[in-house]
Amino acid sequence: MLVALCTVTAAGAAGAPAAAVPIGTLACPSVPATHDPAVTVIVYRVARSYNVNDKVMLSTFEAGWVESHMNNLPCGDKSSLGVFQQRWDYGWGTPEQIMDPVYATTQYVTRAITCDRNNPGYTAGQVAQCVQRSGFPDRYDQVAGTARTLLNQAARTHGMAGGSSTDVNGDGRDDILTFTQNASADVYASTSTGTGFAGTSVKWNDFFSIGGETASTGDVNGDGRDDIVTFAHGNTGDVYVALSNGSAFASPGRWHDWFAPGAEIAAVGDVNGDGRDDIVAFTHNATADVYVALSTGSSFSGTAVKWHDYFSIAGEFPALGDVNGDGRDDLITFTQGPATAADVIVALSTGNGFGAPQKWHDLFAVGAEQPRVGDINGDGKDDIVTFTCNTDADVYAATSTGTTFAGTTIKWHDFFCLTGEFPYLADTNGDGKDDLIVFTKGATNDVYVALSTGTTFGASSKWHDYFGLTGEVTL
């Protein structure tokens, strides 16, 4: 039974029992001792899409840990089901809905937002109790440390975006995009003029990439314009694409029906060098497998096609980039340990697989720094860049020689990307060299750019004064 963990949750939170046809629910013989990473990432993505504050976010993870150890349980006390042990006979939805982590998290988060707004003095645990109505109200605050650890892990996984091109109109200059990832699921674009990003609230698609999905970009049909791609993850593993026509993204179509399920890390890049971007999935667990589905121009072909059987374990930061300049994107992983274990490993693409891993740098992107991949000196080979994104706001780079990344502690900018901001690389002025971009989020929602000279990044300047709000996914 789940009496120890799945207390009488949600029984009073949604009203009196509904008149429903009883269905059998199975009492769980035990609860997994560890969390399901797929569930934690989905919970984080959905909560983030509602732009929740830190207290509500923490309460969500406290509730998930107390109720299920962050697992999507098909069983529970009485009629309780799912990650939050919500009860179908108390108005939380059908059993099928409750077993969908996106739906279940949405139900929890929307109620938690209301509880927090009505009770600003509540702790995170008290917000969780307000939603769950548990018979053991103190347990939520007691697991704050565990919940915070899981929250930080999920946030890190969610934020893994090594880089992808964003030239959505095909003029040779990278543009900026933001995915609202809320109920409206809008996609806005601001195109580069070479000296700024033009347009505010220019909607390019009105329903693409909902909360819980991973949004990315890439030229998947080889027409010179970058398209948008979203990975549904979860139990469906669907991949949807909306092609760019140069001024908008067309209606989405499903290009794959089983790819990057659960908490796998998805990426987009041209791994076989045919001019069309493909999709790559890192299992990012103990098996560390890497799967690929190639673009045909109208779909992604291949299911469970393994291109590498051990690359980028949990805790590392995987990415794609053409590091040797042969036209094929390669695998890169940043181990991101302390200064004694912050290696960068590369596996080169052969066009139909990835070769043996090789260490290309032994001290880069330490700890919580944010690494990115792009060609910053314009020589046709992708380089590596890391942002400290703290009060120092330093930016370091190591350029590719084709067989290694050269340079340690070579600072290319001394003040770019503060805490809470989101950095990216893109060729914003079309000179063949990737520049720095940062989305400030927060109160200002500004976008700053620092252009590459080939040996450093110049002074930062504001290219947009309102784009990419907190909670949105920006590229």
304 sits in which H/E element: none
Reported as a single tens digit per residue, the pLDDT across 242-294 is: 999 999 999 999 999 999 987 788 999 999 999 999 999 998 888 999 999 99
Are residues 241 and 111 both part of a single domain?
no
| pLDDT on residue 5 | 33
Are residues 146 and 169 both part of a single domain?
no
Q: How would you label 153-168 residue by residue, b for 16+ Cβ within 10 Å and e otherwise?
A: bbebbbebbbbbbbbb
- Nearest Cα neighbor of 10 from 83, 71, 116 is 83
Reported as a single tens digit per residue, the pLDDT across 22-76 is: 444 567 888 888 888 778 878 887 887 787 899 999 999 999 999 999 999 998 8
Instruction: Report the distance separating Cα 147 and Cα 459, nearest Å.
Output: 40
β 306-308/290-295 pair status: antiparallel
Are residues 143 and 213 both part of a single domain?
no
Are residues 146 and 230 both part of a single domain?
no
Are residues 265 and 358 both part of a single domain?
yes
| Residues linked to residue 268 through DSSP beta bridges, in sequence order | 279
Are residues 456 and 410 both part of a single domain?
yes
Q: Does the pLDDT at position 145 exceed 80?
A: yes
Position with higher pLDDT, 419 vs 361: 361
- Using the 3D structure, point to which of 155, 184, 213 is the last residue of a domain: 155
SS3 387: strand
Give the residue-averaged pLDDT of 284-313: 94
| pLDDT on residue 195 | 97
| pLDDT on residue 21 | 37
CATH number, domain of 337, equals 2.120.10.30
Reported as a single tens digit per residue, the pLDDT across 388-413 is: 998 999 999 999 999 999 988 899 99
Instruction: Report the distance separating Cα 437 and Cα 283, nearest Å.
Output: 29
| pLDDT on residue 161 | 66
Q: Does the pLDDT at position 356 exceed 70?
A: yes
Position with higher pLDDT, 340 vs 175: 175
Instruction: Report the distance separating Cα 176 and Cα 439, nearest Å.
Output: 10
| pLDDT on residue 457 | 98
Q: Is the dihedral of CA 357, 363, 366, 369 positive or negative?
A: negative
Give the total number of structural domains in the chain: 2
| Residue 130 dihedral angles phi and psi, to the nearest 5° | -60, -40
CB 83 within 8 A of CB 70: yes
Give the residue-averaged pLDDT of 214-221: 95
- Using the 3D structure, point to which of 104, 128, 155 is the last residue of a domain: 155
| pLDDT on residue 160 | 61
Q: Does the pLDDT at position 15 exceed 60?
A: no
Determine, yes or no, domain membership for 424: yes
SS3 269: strand
Give the residue-averaged pLDDT of 149-163: 73
Are residues 134 and 275 both part of a single domain?
no
Determine, yes or no, domain membership for 27: no
Q: Does the pLDDT at position 218 exceed 90?
A: yes
Q: Does the pLDDT at position 2 exceed 80?
A: no
CB 13 within 8 A of CB 93: no
Alpha-helix residue ranges (DSSP H) falling in 339-389? none
Structural domain span for residue 128: 37-155
From residue 345, how far is each of 102, 157, 193, 385 by CA, in Å? Answer: 34, 18, 36, 14
**What's this model's pTM, rounded to 2 decimal places?**
0.79
| pLDDT on residue 18 | 39
Determine, yes or no, domain membership for 3: no
- Nearest Cα neighbor of 232 from 250, 251, 255 is 255
* 11-25, 124-138, 205-219, 273-287: the lowest-pLDDT one: 11-25
Reported as a single tens digit per residue, the pLDDT across 314-339 is: 778 899 999 999 999 999 999 988 87
| pLDDT on residue 19 | 38
Are residues 367 and 468 both part of a single domain?
yes
Average pLDDT over the chain, rounded to an integer? 89
Q: Give the rounded percent of residues in the chain with a pLDDT score beyond 90.
A: 67
Are residues 281 and 409 both part of a single domain?
yes
Give the residue-averaged pLDDT of 3-24: 38
Instruction: Report the distance separating Cα 75 and Cα 5, nearest Å.
Output: 12
Task: Name the residue with tokens 């003095």.
Answer: 121
Are residues 122 and 184 both part of a single domain?
no
Chain mean position to CA 249: 21
Instruction: Report the distance separating Cα 388 and Cα 12, nearest Å.
Output: 46
Determine, yes or no, domain membership for 115: yes
Confidence of residue 10 (pLDDT cuts 50, 70, 90): very low
Specify burial of residue 309 (Cβ count, 10 A radius: 0-12, 13-18, 19+).
Answer: exposed
Task: Name the residue with tokens 């398209």.
Answer: 227
Give the residue-averaged pLDDT of 360-371: 90
Determine, yes or no, domain membership for 7: no
Q: Does the pLDDT at position 459 exceed 90?
A: yes
Are residues 126 and 246 both part of a single domain?
no
Q: Does the pLDDT at position 159 exceed 70?
A: no
Q: Tokens standing for 444?
A: 């200002």
Give the residue-averaged pLDDT of 167-187: 94
| pLDDT on residue 275 | 96
Q: Give the rounded percent of residues in the chain with a pLDDT score beyond 70.
A: 93
* 119-123, 149-153, 161-165, 357-361: the lowest-pLDDT one: 161-165
Confidence of residue 349 (pLDDT cuts 50, 70, 90): very high
- 6 contacts: CB under 8 Å, gap ≥ 6: 28, 31, 67, 68, 73, 76, 77, 80, 85
Q: Is the dihedral of CA 397, 265, 216, 392 positive or negative?
A: negative
Q: How far apart are the first and last CA of the chain?
A: 45
Determine, yes or no, domain membership for 411: yes
Determine, yes or no, domain membership for 412: yes
Are residues 215 and 331 both part of a single domain?
yes
- Using the 3D structure, point to which of 136, 155, 174 is the last residue of a domain: 155
Give the residue-averaged pLDDT of 76-104: 89
Confidence of residue 4 (pLDDT cuts 50, 70, 90): very low
In the chain, the amino acid numbered 29 is: P
Confidence of residue 212 (pLDDT cuts 50, 70, 90): confident
Confidence of residue 156 (pLDDT cuts 50, 70, 90): low
Determine, yes or no, domain membership for 207: yes
Torsion region of 463: left, alpha or beta (phi above 0 gives left; psi -120 to 50 gives alpha)? alpha
